[in-house]
Amino acid sequence: MKYAYFPGCSLKGTGRAYEESLVPVLQHLGVELQELEDWNCCGATAYMAVDEGKACAAAARNLALAERTGLRQMLAPCSACYLVLNKTRHYLQEYPAMRQVVCRALESVGLACRADTTVRHPLDVLVHDIGRDAIRQKVSRPLKGLKVAPYYGCQIVRPYSTFDDQANPTSMDRLIEALGATVVKWPLKTKCCGGSLTGTLPEAGLRLSYILLKEAIKRGADVIATVCPLCQFNLDAYHAKIAARWEPVRIPTVYFSQLMGLAFGLPDHQTVLHRGMVQFRPPPAPAPTPA
């Protein structure tokens, strides 16, 4: 299995633990990734707020680069990138006026975009292309007894629900169960973490992160598993501020890929748990069963 790979800015920056853990996990499962050559920022939510046409054109350049690789599918692990690239595809397919502007702009630098590369999320690929059985077979260190609150955030199920249920997504739940851990049921799976408002308007933004952390603890979770670099940042980086405003709600938040690496028995530099500001201390590996 081979996919084009769009890492996005966060995965090279504050969210580097996502890439550092996801790539080896996929390799371990026999997936080959080809990073898009000279990719640019997808535009995220900020660009849409300034100029829709340019935001689409910026995202479409990446779609055009993906088409050049000849690979029909592109992996976009960051939720914002995943949404923006999908939304751009949707716009180019649905709105001829937008398509014309964007395609002409790309032509001016010799690029062409048919918007026919499928943009896939790693959860989608893991659950549907690879399958839970294949994942279960690779588990060498089951995460027995670990209680994980799966947190999907907003943008991989909204507004488009391409691979999972919009109201109650379960792909990560199934993945976590395949790793031997226990899924904590909570109603906040897809609630907003505050997005960039945690930085720009902490009063409002941090409250949302606080609610998530508080409820995860209340429901007995040991760790929150996330799929998005911004969610991970918000739930991991602001504990001091949250404690000052409300109450201490210390619980680690890691990428699902870090849990997978752990369960696969991958080395520390591939699970990169040290990247968390709230340190996640995994349960001790179960004693090896005598042969």
Partner 1 sequence: MKITRTIKYEADRVPGFGREVMSVPGCEALEHCIQCGTCSGVCPLSIYMDYTPRQVMELVRSDFKNEVLRSHTIWLCASCYACTVECPRQIRITDIMYELKQRAIKEGVYPARFPIPVLAKEFTRMVHDHGRISETRLVSQMYLKSNPLAALGMAGLGWGLMRTGRFSLKQDRVERREEIAKIMEAVDRENGKAAA
Partner 2 sequence: MTRPQHVRIGFYVCHCGHNIAAMVDCTAVARYIATLPGVVLSRDYKYMCSDPGQELIQQDIREYGLNRVVVASCSPLLHEHTFRGAVEAGGLNPFFFHMVNIREHNSWVHTDRVLATEKAKDLARAAIERVVHHKPLEIKKVPIHPDVLVVGGGIAGIHAAMTLANAGKKVFLVEREPSIGGHMARFDKTFPTLDCAACILTPKMSEVGSHPNITLWTWSEVVKVDGYVGNYTVQVKRKARYVIEDLCTGCQDCIAHCVYKEPKFDDLFNERLGKRKPVYIPFPQATPQVVLIDPEVCLNFKRSKNPDGTPVVSDKCKKTCVEACGEKRAIDFTQKDQVVEIKVGTILVCTGFKTFDARRVPAYGYGVYPNVYTALEVERLVNASGPTGGHVVLRQGTNPDGSPKTPRSIGIIHCVGSRDKKTNLWCSRVCCMYSMKLAHLLKEHTGAEIYNFYIDIRTPGKGYEEFYNKLLEEGTHFIRGRVGEVTDWTMTPEEEGKLVIRVEDTLAGVVRRIPVDMVVLATGLEPQADADAVRRLFNMSCGGDGWFLERHPKLAPVNTFTDGVFLAGCCQGPKDIPDTVAQAGAAAAEALALIDKGYVEQEPNTAHILDTECSGCKSCIPLCPYTAILFDETRRKAYINEALCKGCGTCVGSCPSGSIVQNLFEDAEIFSEIAGVLAGEPVTAGRTGNLTPIATP
Measure the CA–CA gap between 83 and 68, rounded to whole angstroms: 21
Is 187 a residue that touches partner 2 (CB under 8 A)? Answer: yes
Site membership for partner 2, residue 186 (CB under 8 A)? yes
For every residue of 54-84, DSSP letters joined together read HHHHHHHHHHHHHHHHT-SEEE--SHHHHHH
Smallest distance from the beta carbon of 215 to partner 2, in angstroms?
Answer: 5
Query: Can residue 154 be called a binding residue for partner 2 (CB under 8 A)?
Result: no
DSSP state of 97: H
Nearer to partner 1, 11 or 179 (CB): 11
* Nearer to partner 1 (CB atom), residue 125 or residue 206: 206
Residues that bind partner 1 (CB under 8 A): 9-10, 12-17, 38-41, 43-54, 57-58, 61, 91, 94-95, 97-98, 100-102, 104-109, 111, 154-155, 158-159, 166, 191-192, 194-197, 199-201, 203-205, 208, 237-238, 240-241, 274-277
DSSP, collapsed to helix, strand or coil, labels residue 280 as: coil
265-272-121 Cα angle (round to 5): 85
Which residue's structure tokens are 């790693």? 122
**CA dist 119 → 59, 122, 176, 250, 279 (Å):** 12, 10, 23, 35, 32
* Residue 187 binds which of partner 1, partner 2, none (CB < 5-8 A, kind-dependent): partner 2
| Contact partner at residue 26 from partner 2, partner 1, none, CB < 5 to 8 Å by partner kind | none
Q: Which does 269 bind (CB under 5 to 8 A by kind): partner 1, partner 2, none?
A: none
Q: Cα separation of 8 and 219, whole Å?
A: 33
Tell me, by CB under 8 A, how many residues bind partner 2: 7
| Residue 189 Cα distances to 82, 119, 203, 212, 267, angstroms | 18, 22, 22, 9, 29
Q: Which of 188, 193, 228, 230 binds partner 2 (CB under 8 A)?
A: 188
Binding site for partner 2 (CB under 8 A): 167-168, 186-188, 211, 215
